[in-house]
Amino acid sequence: MAYWLFKSEPATWSWDQQVAKGVAGEIWNGVRNHQAKNFMQAMKKGDRGFFYHSQTERAVVGIVEVTKEAEPDPTAEPDSPWECVTVKAIQPVASPVTLKMIKDVPELAEMVLVKNSRLSVQPVEPDEWKLVCKMAGVKP
DNA sequence: GCCAACGTTGGC
DNA sequence: GCCAACGTTGGC
């Protein structure tokens, strides 16, 4: 199983809204970046991801699971290359892991979140996943 | 094919 | 609100 990080501006799409969708989940639409799209195409059903709030909060606030693999983005122009997966909320974190906390941990210095903060969908290494889960107070 | 200009994102 | 980083666009 692979691990990922989904970044969202809480004003646009928040963790609470994701939770409200329940087991049905919600399509992760609106991504208009090829790197991010490629990562979504690599995702498999059952993969796990962090739900990260950018801008005002800058913290990992929940855990999601990929429930449907990449399909054309219904919010994109017809025949455009954009795709998206569907994710559902699994559980909130016991305590949010802020960007500052991540930056303070040397083992997490190589996270894409630190290296390329603008990428909205990112891969997470298994070791990084375990450590951030520990910091968040959730089971990996 | 290069590069300057511009728009967008996100941290601070 | 500002600015740095990055991606995209368009002129040449």
The 10s digit of each residue's pLDDT in A45-60 is 999 999 999 999 999 9
| Beta-carbon contacts of residue A29 (< 8 Å; ≥ 6 apart) | A73, A74, A75, A76, A84
Fold of A3-136: ph1033 like fold (3.10.590)
- pLDDT given for residue A78 in this prediction: 81
- Report if CB A18 to strand B is under 7 Å: no
- Structure confidence at residue A140 (pLDDT): 87
When pLDDT is cut at 50, 70 and 90, the band that residue A20 belongs to is: very high
Model confidence at A61, pLDDT cuts 50, 70, 90, reads very high
Averaged pLDDT for residues A123-128: 97
Query: Which nucleotide minimizes the distance between its C1' and the CA of A52?
Result: B10
Mean pLDDT on A15-26: 97
Q: Which nucleotide is nearest to A58 (CA to C1')?
A: B11
Give domain limits for chain A.
3-136
The token pair at A2 is: 């692979």
The alpha carbon torsion through A116, A120, A125, A128 (nearest 10 deg) reads 80
- A127 C-beta less than 7 Å away from strand B: no
* Chain C, protein-covered positions (CB within 7 A): 5-8
Residue A53: CB less than 7 A from any atom in strand B: no
Judged by C1' against the alpha carbon of A117, the nearest nucleotide is: B10
pLDDT of residue A80 exceeding 90:
no
